[in-house]
Amino acid sequence: EPEVTQTPSHQVTQMGQEVILRCVPISNHLYFYWYRQILGQKVEFLVSFYNNEISEKSEIFDDQFSVERPDGSNFTLKIRSTKLEDSAMYFCASSELRTQYFGPGTRLLVL
């Protein structure tokens, strides 16, 4: 069964450093998403991406975040200058239409 994959599974970084989180969505899906989940809290929407551009973003997705689909298979989330409060699980999701399928997540720890 096709699934969303994410790398790395864990990332530890120093405050102020840039990180890139990578995702390979399900191959025939057209819509891509990033969500985050701070430990013990709700899953929160960050951004959606369709037809090579951002279609929606939340207030969390400020100028330090960016997304890119650099080739036909990868979808990345970049955090330019990490803060302590960026520590969370980051989930990539993809969908053909409305139902979104999630990857296993990247656990980001900012020290």
Binding site for another protein (CB under 8 A): 4, 31, 33, 35, 41-45, 48, 50, 55-56, 58, 89, 91, 95, 98-105, 107
Pick the closer one to another protein by CB: 15 or 30: 30
Cα-flanking dihedrals φ and ψ of residue 66, to 5°? -150, 155
Pick the closer one to another protein by CB: 76 or 95: 95
Give CA angle at 91 (89, 97), nearest 5°: 160
C-beta of 67: minimal distance to another protein in Å? 14
C-beta of 105: minimal distance to another protein in Å? 5
Rg (CA), the chain: 13
How long a stretch of residues is the chain?
Answer: 111
